[in-house]
């Protein structure tokens, strides 16, 4: 039996309900600690916009270059930048914020691969999370907008959670900007031809997000929204 086999076997060993309940109960304190630390640090950063996208995007890719420029322009318009703190598009966002001498926040997550700190996060604004759900609360609560670049499952998860929370009025509305018509057009077509056609969402729900292609369009959409609404945490 290999070491991996032993680890799997250990995980499958039956536990008493009392052991499970005790472990779950103590785990709550770890969750609480992540919430407290996040709330304490992020409540002080001021208006910020989160930039999402693939951790696998290389530095010479057009999406990386565009994400960096969006972040830079955000800082020139008074916003700080929040990312997941890792490589790829996240790194580009923090790099652009750093270039613009703006606030650069990283909400890092402990993962077995892909994720590692990027060097462009402000050292006093680099938070570490074990729990995805706590991290997502921080993104939603303290972001005045989402800029969503091309990405994978994680990017889609964060995008659709925000849309769902706004759609169901669990949080106040804030701008969600999808960058890259070519990348997002297939998903948008499917939403129209399947979700709307089958009555699973309303056509008005398409107004919950905007698709753009340039940094100027992305920032302009945010500025237009906040010309009407006050900047504040979302809940």
Going from N- to C-terminal start, the domains of the chain cover 3-226
Specify the higher pLDDT residue, 2 or 159.
Answer: 159
51 closest CA partner among 88, 84, 87, 99: 84
**Over 90: is that where the pLDDT of 179 sits?**
yes
pLDDT at 121 over 70: yes
Q: Which helix or strand (DSSP H or E) is residue 50 part of?
A: strand 48-52
Task: Give the Cβ contact number of residue 59 at 10 Å.
Answer: 12
Cβ atoms of 62 and 86 within 8 Å: the answer is no
pTM of the model: 0.88
Which pLDDT band holds residue 160 (cuts at 50, 70, 90)?
very high
According to the model, what pLDDT value does residue 234 have? Answer: 73
- CATH number for the domain whose boundaries are 3-226: 3.40.50.450
Angle between helices 132-142 and 153-167 (to 10 degrees): 50
Rg (CA), the chain: 19
Asked if the model's pLDDT at residue 230 lies above 90, the reply is: no
Q: Average per-residue pLDDT in the chain?
A: 92
What letter does residue 11 receive in the DSSP assignment? H
Give the integer Cα–Cα distance in Å for 177 and 127. 24
Distance CA 173, CA 37 (A): 25
CB 76 within 8 A of CB 48: no
Band of the pLDDT at 229, cuts 50, 70, 90? confident
> How sure is the predictor about 63, in pLDDT bands with cuts at 50, 70 and 90?
very high
Tens of pLDDT, residues 1-50 = 566 655 555 555 556 656 666 677 888 999 999 999 999 999 999 999 99
Least confident range from 9-13, 183-187, 230-234: namely 9-13
């Amino acid at each position: 039996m290999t070491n991996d086999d032993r680890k799997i076997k250990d995980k499958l060993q039956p536990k008493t309900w009392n052991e499970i309940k005790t472990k779950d109960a103590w785990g709550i304190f770890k969750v609480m600690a992540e919430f407290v630390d996040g709330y304490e640090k992020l409540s002080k950063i001021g208006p910020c916009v989160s930039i999402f996208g693939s951790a696998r995007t290389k530095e010479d890719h057009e999406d990386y270059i565009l994400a960096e420029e969006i972040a830079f322009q955000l800082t020139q318009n008074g916003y700080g930048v929040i990312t997941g703190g890792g490589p790829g598009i996240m790194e580009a966002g923090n790099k652009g914020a750093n270039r613009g001498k703006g606030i650069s926040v990283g909400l890092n997550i402990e993962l077995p691969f892909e994720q590692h700190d990027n060097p462009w996060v402000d050292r006093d604004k680099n938070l570490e999370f074990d729990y995805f759900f706590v991290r997502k609360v921080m993104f939603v609560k303290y972001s005045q907008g989402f800029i969503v670049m091309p990405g994978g499952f994680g990017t889609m998860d964060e995008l659709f959670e925000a849309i769902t929370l706004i759609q169901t009025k669990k949080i106040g509305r804030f701008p969600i900007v999808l960058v890259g018509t070519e990348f997002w057009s297939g998903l948008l077509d499917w939403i129209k031809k399947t979700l709307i056609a089958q009555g699973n969402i309303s056509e008005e729900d398409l107004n919950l997000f905007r698709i753009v292609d340039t940094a100027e369009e992305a920032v302009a959409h945010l500025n237009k929204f906040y010309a009407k609404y006050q900047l504040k945490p979302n809940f």
